[in-house]
Structure 1
Amino acid sequence: MRLLQILILSILLISSKVQAQEQPEPVVNWISFEQLGDSLDSNPKPVVIFFHTDWCSYCKKMLRETFRDKEVIEKLNSEYYAVEFDAESIDSVLFDGVTYTNSSSRKRTGNYHELFKILMGESKKHVFPTTLIMNADFSVKTKKINYLSIKQILNIL
């Protein structure tokens, strides 16, 4: 009888451990610019836009570390709309009734998407990663053109 109790207890512990491991990690609820337009119309709130490129190592580090922190994820998902966008994307983007494109038909370093250039303003030199914090009316509240650690982004948010 004692052996049966130990066996049942072991099975319960193992199954609860397996169930705990199956819980998905929390992630940032990234949305597209298309989804952002609809979301701002129905429920205005601040926006975080994270511009990156394929070749930017600090962009990858932010995606791997900063945007995987539970506190950052919780803050972004509850208080902001979050948009992740490749600044060199060649995809067309419909935002606020206007279609934005990249003048290049091939993805190339330094050929930036029209939407990125508009949101960055007249800057002639672009640095990545770039993080924009926008108010609900889409006015720029904060622009950071550097790597942001977990602590730094939480202070900004």
Structure 2
Amino acid sequence: MKLLQYICIAILLMTGSLQAQERNEPAVNWLSFEQLSDSLTVRPKPVLIFFHTDWCSYCKKMLGETFKDPKVIEKLNSEYYAVEFDAESVDTVRFDGEIYASELKSKRTGKYHPLASILMGSKNRAVFPTTIILDTDFSMKFKKFNYLSIKQLLNIL
């Protein structure tokens, strides 16, 4: 069973890498929460979770600049699992043996996915982008509710 998990994780990680390699660009190996659960079971590592929304210009800037930097990519891919998640998603998410489902059928500004609300810890006031770093035991190591430059994120990592 463990061999099958290793194979599945390797295929998922290679898929993201191959898409970037086709353009000859390095890329962060973003995982879904479902993939994160499996990966943590096989090989515990710290986790970076990046919450964003479609309307957040600083979120787009981090995705387009900070997370495109080769040093950031190398550090994240080698030492962390990275999860990118739209906080206003209406998708059902399975994570850590639990199911997190939105009550909404379509995205709405200011209405956040239950998993995002739990992890961000801000039910009444959410600020984006939100970057969270969790230790291997899933304890909170770092939480920031604003734009992080390449230098700032590297210092945190």
Q: TM-score range by the shorter chain?
A: 0.7 to 0.9
Matches within 5 A, 1:21-32: 24-32=24-32
Aligned-partner Cα distance in 1 for 2:64–2:122: 30
How many pairs are equivalent? 137
Structure 2 gap ranges (5+): 1-21
Aligned-partner Cα distance in 2 for 1:123–1:111: 10
Greater C-alpha Rg: 1
SS of residue paired to 2:73: helix
Q: Is the 8 A contact 2:130 2:145 kept in 1?
A: yes
Residue 114 of structure 2 corresponds to residue 114 of structure 1: yes
Aligned-partner Cα distance in 2 for 1:122–1:91: 20
Match of residue 95 from structure 2: 95
Structure 1 gap ranges (5+): 1-21
Counterparts in 2 of 1:122 and 1:26: CA distance versus 1, 3 Å: closer
Aligned-partner Cα distance in 1 for 2:83–2:49: 5
* Aligned amino acid, residue 132 of structure 1: I
Counterparts in 2 of 1:96 and 1:60: CA distance versus 1, 3 Å: same
Q: Write out per-residue CA displacement over residues 46-92 of structure 1, whole angstroms, 9 at most, x where no aligned residue.
A: 00000000000000000000000000000000000000000000000
Match of residue 151 from structure 1: 151
Q: Is the 8 A contact 1:88 1:102 kept in 2?
A: no
Aligned-partner Cα distance in 1 for 2:58–2:24: 25
What is the deviation of 1:23? 6.0
Q: Is the 8 A contact 1:102 1:111 kept in 2?
A: no
Match of residue 78 from structure 2: 78
Q: Is the 8 A contact 2:120 2:130 kept in 1?
A: no
Aligned-partner Cα distance in 1 for 2:107–2:23: 37
Aligned-partner Cα distance in 1 for 2:123–2:26: 35
Match of residue 58 from structure 1: 58
What is the deviation of 1:115? 0.3
TM-score under structure 2 normalisation?
0.84
